[in-house]
Structure 1
Amino acid sequence: MESLEKKQYQIDFNNILDHVRVFAPATVANMICGFDVLGFAVDHPGDEVAMYRVAQPGVRIRSIAGDDGRLPLDADKNTVSACVKMLLTHLGLQDELGVEIELTKHMPIGSGLGSSSASTVAGLFAINTLLGNPLSKTALMPFCVEGERLACGHGHADNVAPALMGGITLIRGHNHLDVISLPVPTELYAGIVFPQVDVPTRDARQLIKEKVLLKDAVTQWGNIAGLVAGLYESDYDLISRSMHDVLIEPTRAILIPEFYEMKSIALAAGALSFGISGSGPSVVAIAKGEAVAMQAATEIQQHLTAHDIDSFKYVSAVNVHGPKILG
């Protein structure tokens, strides 16, 4: 992470807020064909962080709700508080400011919807807001990436970038990160279904082949380029033709029960494309129009129910705003 001097930031202690509550959205990483380089935010679900200024310096977690007791309350081990501490240290405020955090999870952990990134982004957006927004979203990005490194051992931006920036983002590079916001066609919707099966992110990543055939790589490059062109032109047919994954999906699909049956249902319902959200097990039907996204997600959920698999369903347009202040 590049170091920035404290003198670049003007922190007025008289204007620091007493409290703030922030929502940050779930995300669909990869956007089917763009492994580790594409992602988009959705309106729901997402996570909330309430942050309070207190007299005692340091960062502490008051409570965590919605996690079934799975997340640590230790401020050094929880990604939200750890990233807040990192930012305060960066600003030279670690011995001057005290904050306490309440985290509310509104989405399941290990869903493939960027659960950890939503929490991290909410926490960093909250502390930045509390301090009067000394950092831009771009300047917050490295801290968000560090949160992903803490959460899953791999510091990548395909979830945190859209969660922080909103919309559809393209990530170029890792050591010298470029985050490019792409156009969002007005009728682009996502029908997301989260089957109640366990697919840990680390396990899903370990299945990925280290070497691929050149012909498959060329196909994937063409699909990513075609998708980006389709977004710029709002060309839904080109978007549909381009959103095919020949590298990652064939391996990860074996971890998700009924995957190809769900794919057939989504395409029959009129979806532009269908694939895995992040590392799964959530799946996404990307559609032109809310009605098609809803039909695809509903029929997929009905299919899973018939096979004794519980699931959650979310239908959303692309969230172009990212995190928002709730109070």
Structure 2
Amino acid sequence: MDTDCIKIFAPATVANVACGFDVIGLAIDAPGDEIILRKTDTPGIVIKAIHGADLPLDPLLNVCGVAAQHFLKKLDQPDAGVEMEIFKNIAPGSGIGSSAASSAGAAVGLNELFGRPFDNKQLIRFAMEGERLASGAAHADNVAPAIMGGFTLVRSYQPLDITALHTPAALWVTVIHPQIEVKTSDARAILKQKVLMTDAIKQWGNVAALVAGLYQEDYGLISRSLEDVIVEPVRAILIPAFHELKIKCKEAGALGGGISGSGPSVFMLSRGEIIARQVRDVMNEVYAPLGVDYNIYVSPISTQGSRVIPM
């Protein structure tokens, strides 16, 4: 891209997608982080300002800075310098890929600034290093859809093998974000280290059926597949009114859903915008009496991922 200054939009994401723990993710249209990146004459990374969240400006302690440093190291241009201004529209700890959006946005933005020297697989690697800083593990289930858009599947980490899945155009997502914090490290700490073979078999079947349902645009099969018998039963206790929320959203027409990432956000997939907005109304009905602040987002599945937007 023939410019020294660009602005990037990096979308929020839903990871796990019920049965797809640590392997399936999807991107949504809103909310999303925005990052302004400028080339500078001073080598290295400078984070000029962060709006919307109290996060470190030190690039060694910020996911954008870490992803950017790995990018520049691989770029092998010792004199390259970039200044970043970050607009955090995705709350940290929300369960909808806050750190992933920033990491992905930084990687994609630098790639645009320097003439797209790297493909998506390499950009995902850079963004995964931001995730390593944020959660202690270099997961790709959020950064992959944040970069590629749509649904993505992480088949393997060694070697890294990520593929895009088909995204039915009629599929919408409704996400409620209760204003409580669930740390990824805490949510992982409560997981069982061993699972029953019967549960594992059921989970494998649901993952395979979900992928088939997406390609066939079989909404009944998608609905039947959105069942997590391993992680959700343990983590549900962290989220207020979780079971009531799921039941009433499905009664309103949702295909199904579950915990977004490690929570506290909860997502529900629907066929079409009308049902997705009916699901939003039900989420309001369930949460309004609880005395917990929350935000709700209604969005189609974003097929674009992180991208340049007008300044």
TM-score, length-scaled by structure 2 = 0.97
Q: CA deviation at 1:138?
A: 2.0
Q: CA deviation at 1:16?
A: 6.0
The question of whether the paired residues in 1 share the 8 Å contact of 2:14 and 2:26 is answered with yes
Partner of 1:301: 284
User: Deviation string for 1:196-253 (max 9, x for gaps)?
Assistant: 1121111001111110000000000001111111111100001101110000000000
Query: Does residue 47 in structure 1 map to residue 30 in structure 2?
Result: no
The question of whether the paired residues in 1 share the 8 Å contact of 2:12 and 2:28 is answered with yes
Code of the aligned partner of 1:82: V
The question of whether the paired residues in 2 share the 8 Å contact of 1:285 and 1:297 is answered with no
Code of the aligned partner of 1:124: A
Question: Any gaps of 5 or more consecutive residues in structure 2?
Answer: none
- RMSD (Å) for aligned C-alpha atoms: 1.1
Structural mapping, 1:111-190, within 5 Å:
111-190=94-173
Code of the aligned partner of 2:80: L
3-state SS, counterpart of residue 23 of structure 1: strand
Partner of 2:302: 319
The question of whether the paired residues in 1 share the 8 Å contact of 2:128 and 2:139 is answered with yes
Q: Specify which of 210, 225, 230 is matched with residue 227 of structure 1.
A: 210
3-state SS, counterpart of residue 59 of structure 1: strand
Query: Does residue 37 in structure 1 map to residue 23 in structure 2?
Result: yes
Q: Distance in 1 between matches of 2:291 and 2:139?
A: 35
Aligned pairs, number: 310
3-state SS, counterpart of residue 181 of structure 2: coil
Partner of 2:57: 73
Code of the aligned partner of 1:38: I
Query: Does residue 86 in structure 1 map to residue 70 in structure 2?
Result: yes
The question of whether the paired residues in 2 share the 8 Å contact of 1:236 and 1:288 is answered with yes
3-state SS, counterpart of residue 155 of structure 1: coil
Q: Distance in 1 between matches of 2:133 and 2:296?
A: 28
Query: Does residue 21 in structure 1 map to residue 7 in structure 2?
Result: yes
Q: Distance in 1 between matches of 2:262 and 2:299?
A: 20
Q: CA deviation at 1:165?
A: 0.6
Q: Distance in 2 between matches of 1:319 and 1:28?
A: 11
Q: Distance in 1 between matches of 2:212 and 2:220?
A: 11
Q: CA deviation at 1:139?
A: 2.1
The question of whether the paired residues in 1 share the 8 Å contact of 2:16 and 2:25 is answered with yes
Q: Distance in 2 between matches of 1:37 and 1:85?
A: 26
Q: Distance in 2 between matches of 1:160 and 1:301?
A: 29
Q: Specify which of 77, 82, 85 is matched with residue 102 of structure 1.
A: 85
3-state SS, counterpart of residue 245 of structure 1: coil
3-state SS, counterpart of residue 117 of structure 2: coil
The question of whether the paired residues in 2 share the 8 Å contact of 1:298 and 1:313 is answered with no
Partner of 1:8: none
Partner of 1:7: none
The question of whether the paired residues in 2 share the 8 Å contact of 1:164 and 1:323 is answered with yes
Query: For residues 16 and 97 of structure 1, do their structure 2 counterparts lie closer, same or farther at Cα, with a shift above 3 Å needed?
Result: farther
Q: Specify which of 233, 236, 255 is matched with residue 253 of structure 1.
A: 236
Q: Distance in 1 between matches of 2:186 and 2:148?
A: 28
The question of whether the paired residues in 1 share the 8 Å contact of 2:62 and 2:130 is answered with no
Determine which structure has more spread, i.e. the larger CA radius of gyration: 1
Structural mapping, 1:243-282, within 5 Å:
243-282=226-265
Question: Any gaps of 5 or more consecutive residues in structure 1?
Answer: 1-14
Q: Specify which of 176, 182, 190 is matched with residue 193 of structure 1.
A: 176
Q: CA deviation at 1:86?
A: 1.5
Code of the aligned partner of 1:78: N
The question of whether the paired residues in 1 share the 8 Å contact of 2:149 and 2:306 is answered with yes
